[in-house]
Structure formats: structure tokens, C-alpha cells
Amino acid sequence: MVKIYNRPLSPHLTIYIPQTVSIFSILHRISALFLILFIIFVVITLKFIIFFVTDYNILLQWTENLDILLLTNIIFLSIFTTFNYHLLNGLRHINWDLGFFLDFSRLKISSILLIFFVFWIYLLSILKIWIY
């Protein structure tokens, strides 16, 4: 008779602790994909508007009837925050390629600074949108 043990197939996955560097690297790739998809969406939307809207007044009436200010602000904030994260993390990777900040303490400091600056820019963006 075969004994069936209740053990996971991959025990190494249950004890794996993700490192901040690997998480930031994955988020960097996801942010690049998000930005590329947004650029493609904007290009297709502009092509659609140019092709189908022959009168500018029709476009103005259409946009005035829609109450999309909140949605536009949310999209702007998400794209702007994603771009800032991608830019700052890219600068961090360039510093690593040049051989700077490679010891563990500086990696941790650069991770904390990256999160701080992205969050700070995000809060400034919210403040700017809220004031105007």
C-alpha cells in the first residue's frame, strides 16, 4: 500500500521570502508594460478622433456633456505616478550598472528613497489637482 503524504510539491516556494530588489525589478517591468499600453491607447484614440470627428465643435459638445473630470484625474495620477516610479527606478538601475550603491545598506536606503520620492511626487500631484 502506498502512503500519501500531505506535503507541498515545492517546499522551497513555501519558505521563499521575496527581496525588495526583485519586487522592484518586477514592478519596473510592469510599469513599462503599463506605460507602453497607455501610449498605444492614446495613439489609437487620437487616430479615432482624427478619423471620425470632422468638426471640432462636435468634439467640444461631446466632451462637455461627459462628466469625466474625476476619471481623467485618476488616469493622470496613475500614469504620472507610474512614469515617476519607472524613471526613478531606472535611474537607480543605471547607478547599479555604473557600480554605485551596490552594498546591502545602500540598496536598502535607495529602496526607501525610491518609495519616499514616488509617494512624495504622488502627494504633490494630488495637491496640485485638488487646488485647481
Cβ contacts of residue 117 below 8 Å, gap of 6+?
Answer: 84, 88
Q: All 3 cell numbers of residue 59?
A: 468634439
Q: All 3 cell numbers of residue 130?
A: 485638488
Q: Can you tell me the distance from the alpha carbon of 60 to that of 128, in angstroms, rounded to the nearest whole number?
A: 25
On whether 12 is known to bind a ligand per the annotation, the reply is no
Instruction: Classify 79 as helix, strand or coil.
Output: helix
Measure the CA dihedral 106/112/113/117, to 10°.
160
> Which letter does DSSP use for residue 98 in this model?
T
**Known binding site for heme: residues?**
86
